[in-house]
A and B are shown apart, each in its own frame.
Chain A
């Protein structure tokens, strides 16, 4: 039971950074590129 709880907490810690506020992606359209 304790092991399951520890694994659950660990999974939570791993997933939290992916949920935090931030810029995820930027796409630019540029002109004059050769």
Chain B
């Protein structure tokens, strides 16, 4: 699995912990990485994904439906699931201020052996680390 994930586009390093089932992926400095692609690659290597957490930096924008999203690249953004922390980001929508956030991008529903992620994935903000 480590080798398989390491070959994916935008991946710089993969660390796998067999003890607690954690896979840490470090993206390349200037590369784009697609979490959905990584999730599929993980399934391809024979294991199922229970949870994906992501730390990302970007601008807060609103999509065509008026929902909050974080734009991490000109052509890559993630919708933000509404919660208490996302409310604190609403005032930044459309501004040039960049934030670093940590959030949960996917969690496997309880009781299911394999679940396809809803597309697009929504980021549930767990921590707002920096506003600049």
A positions within 8 Å CB-CB of B = 17, 19-33
Of the four ranges (under 10, 10 to 19, 20 to 34, 35 or more), the interface on chain B belongs to 35 or more
With CB as the reference atom, state the residue of chain A lying closest to B105.
A26
Return chain B residues, CB-CB under 8 Å to A24: 27, 55-57, 100
Selected from B25, B51, B54, B132, the residue in CB contact (under 8 A) with A29 is B51
CB distance from B15 to the nearest CB of A (A): 10
Task: Give Cα A31–Cα B112 distance, bound, in whole angstroms.
Answer: 12
Selected from B30, B32, B35, the residue in CB contact (under 8 A) with A26 is B35
Task: Give Cα A24–Cα B4 distance, bound, in whole angstroms.
Answer: 20
| Contacts A17-B29, A25-B25, A27-B22 known; 6 new A-B pairs at CB < 8 A | A21-B59, A24-B55, A25-B27, A28-B23, A28-B49, A28-B53
